[in-house]
């Protein structure tokens, strides 16, 4: 099959032929019964295609996509795990899908019960006391958590306007801090990729409201001095916020609340297997200790005799953060995943994610040296070898070449503190056969880079769109494609 047959990049309107149609609509409305100002003056530019042509057109387009259902999707710091199809069935059940946002609580008892029960389960899993499930994305959750911290200090009458963010934290953290009206104090990691306790001490002061840390951090490393870190903050009156986007490495192994975290968020669309990508939908649940419970956003789902109800009247709440309810369909998917797994299974999930990441790291370390010479958590950060760099091979070249072999590229150039970073997160859902195939491909790409570097520098070779000028593509996007 040649490229023209394999990648027919014509738009549907370009395939249109006069007189073709998939459905014949009988005219049932007299144009004279509608005011002329509401009638079109020209025919809409819609493709004329048979139903068969339309189905084939969109099916072929779908086959050009990389997705977690069809390809290995090793995006680091952004868990892209398999989404069980049972999740889709439960979330589309009529009793849930048909509930109107303005329905009386009596008509939404099932949905309210799941929200209440899920909050309870998440708190138990993480060692926290209370939670809100209203945030509809990870960054939205961060923002909500920081607003909770801000309200805490307002109620106490303390003026604290600084938040410490390590350079190993997720990139959204500084933006969240700024949006909430705080000043970001960025601190550098130590040589081992962890928070330097001395640097932290030097930056803690009476203005420090929160330490925002990602655990495990974006290097795939656990902060082994976490208890010392939290004690330093608490002795200073500073709250500790944990970005839990990487909780897939800890769930069932540790409870953040047990070592003193005050606020944390969970990305249900990562750790709990709901679909994400393309901008949403997501869920960034916020969990807090009891001294922050009064500041959580409303509404609050409460359990009373006779059923579940919704409370709005909380004097110290930060208020509403979303109209109506949250992304309920996302919660239903995550809830399905949770009730399919007990404590033993959650522990195995984290253990398998860690084993998979370390397996990849150990197999590829010779060709792509790891940033840290130690065991990683759920993800590993590699870099092109010195031999590849001498051939002029960049991380981008490796990522583009992977597409030719049917693998979605891992996260590249992140975290920013690692030169030419290649961040790989296999998750627990990938089997050894898939991981071995990925490893073999990475080694083959290494050999190509050494023996024929132009093959990598001009990749991809088999995609409908070849290598682009990255800067030009960003500034002058060709939306036709």
For the chain, what are the domain ranges?
3-61, 85-339, 347-475
d(CA 279, CA 295): 28
Instruction: List the one residue out of 371, 336, 353 whose CA is nearest residue 431.
Output: 353
The single-letter DSSP state of residue 290 is G
Per mean pLDDT, which range of 70-79, 103-112, 224-233, 387-396 is the poorest? Answer: 70-79
User: Whole-number mean pLDDT of the chain?
Assistant: 92
pLDDT of residue 29: 61
Q: Report pLDDT for 436.
A: 98
CA separation (Å) from 472 to 13, 264, 347, 467, 477? 27, 39, 46, 12, 7
Give the pTM: 0.90
CATH number of 347-475: 3.90.1150.10
pLDDT in tens, 132-155: 999 998 899 999 999 999 999 999
pLDDT > 70? residue 480: no
pLDDT at position 444: 98
Angle at 176 between CA 173 and CA 179, to 5 degrees: 155
- Residue 14: DSSP 8-state: G
pLDDT (tens digit, 9 = 90+) per residue, 199-236?
999 999 999 999 999 999 999 999 999 999 999 999 99
pLDDT at position 5 = 54
Q: pLDDT category, 20, cuts 50, 70, 90?
A: confident
The arithmetic mean of pLDDT across residues 311-330, rounded, is 91
Per-residue model confidence as pLDDT tens digits over 229-286:
999 999 999 999 999 999 999 999 999 999 999 999 999 988 999 876 555 678 999 9
Any idea how long the chain is?
A: 481
Q: pLDDT of 164-199, one tens digit each?
A: 999 999 888 999 999 999 999 999 999 999 999 999
pLDDT band at 62 (very low <50, low <70, confident <90, very high): confident
Does the structure show a pLDDT above 60 at 351? Answer: yes
Q: Does 3.40.1390.30 match the CATH number of domain 85-339?
A: no
Letter string b/e over residues 128-153, b meaning 16 or more CB atoms within 10 A of that residue's CB: bebbbbbbbbbbbbbbbbbbbbbbbb
Q: How confident is the model at residue 158 (pLDDT cuts 50, 70, 90)?
A: very high
Query: How many angstroms separate the CA atoms of 430 and 73, rounded?
Result: 9
């Amino acid at each position: 099959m040649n490229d023209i047959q394999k990648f027919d990049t014509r738009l549907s309107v370009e395939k249109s032929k006069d007189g073709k149609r998939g459905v014949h609509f009988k005219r049932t409305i007299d144009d004279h019964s509608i005011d002329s100002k509401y009638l079109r003056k020209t025919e809409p530019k819609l493709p004329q295609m048979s139903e068969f042509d339309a189905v084939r057109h969109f099916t072929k387009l779908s086959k050009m996509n990389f997705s977690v259902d069809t390809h290995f999707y090793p995006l680091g710091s952004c868990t892209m795990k398999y989404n069980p199809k049972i999740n889709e069935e439960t979330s589309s059940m009529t009793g849930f899908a048909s509930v109107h946002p303005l329905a009386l609580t009596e008509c939404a008892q099932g949905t309210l019960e799941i929200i209440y029960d899920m909050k309870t389960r998440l708190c138990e899993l993480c060692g926290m006391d209370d939670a809100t499930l209203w945030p509809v994305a990870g960054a939205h959750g961060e923002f909500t958590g920081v607003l909770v911290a801000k309200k805490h200090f307002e109620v106490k009458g303390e003026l604290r306007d600084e938040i410490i963010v390590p350079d190993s934290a997720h990139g959204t953290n500084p933006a969240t801090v700024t949006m909430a009206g705080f000043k970001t104090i960025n601190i550098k990691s130590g040589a081992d990729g962890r928070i330097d306790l001395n640097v932290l001490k030097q930056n803690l002061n009476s203005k420090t409201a929160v330490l925002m840390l990602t655990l495990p951090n974006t290097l795939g490393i656990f902060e082994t001095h976490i208890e010392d870190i939290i004690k330093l903050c608490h002795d200073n009156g500073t709250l500790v916020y944990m970005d839990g986007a990487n909780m897939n490495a800890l769930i069932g192994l540790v409870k953040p609340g047990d070592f003193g975290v005050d606020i944390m968020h969970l990305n249900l669309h990562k750790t709990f297997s709901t679909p994400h990508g393309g901008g949403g939908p997501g869920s960034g649940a916020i969990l807090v200790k009891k001294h922050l419970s009064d500041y959580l956003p409303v509404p609050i789902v409460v359990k009373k005799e006779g059923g579940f109800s919704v409370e709005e009247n909380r004097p110290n709440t930060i208020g509403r953060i979303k109209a109506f309810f949250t992304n309920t369909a996302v919660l239903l998917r995550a809830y399905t995943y949770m009730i399919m797994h007990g404590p033993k299974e959650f522990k195995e999930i984290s253990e398998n994610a860690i084993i998979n990441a370390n397996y990849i790291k150990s197999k590829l370390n010779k060709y792509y040296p790891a940033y840290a010479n130690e065991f990683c958590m759920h993800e590993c950060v590699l870099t092109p070898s010195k031999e590849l760099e001498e051939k002029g091979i960049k991380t981008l070249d490796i990522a583009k070449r992977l597409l030719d072999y049917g693998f979605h590229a891992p996260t590249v150039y992140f975290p920013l503190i690692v030169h030419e970073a290649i961040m790989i997160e296999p998750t627990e859902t990938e089997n050894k056969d898939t991981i071995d195939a990925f490893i073999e491909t990475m080694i083959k790409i290494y050999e190509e880079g050494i023996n024929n570097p132009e093959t990598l520098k001009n990749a991809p070779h088999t995609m409908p769109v070849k290598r682009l000028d990255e800067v030009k593509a960003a500034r002058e996007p060709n939306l036709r494609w």
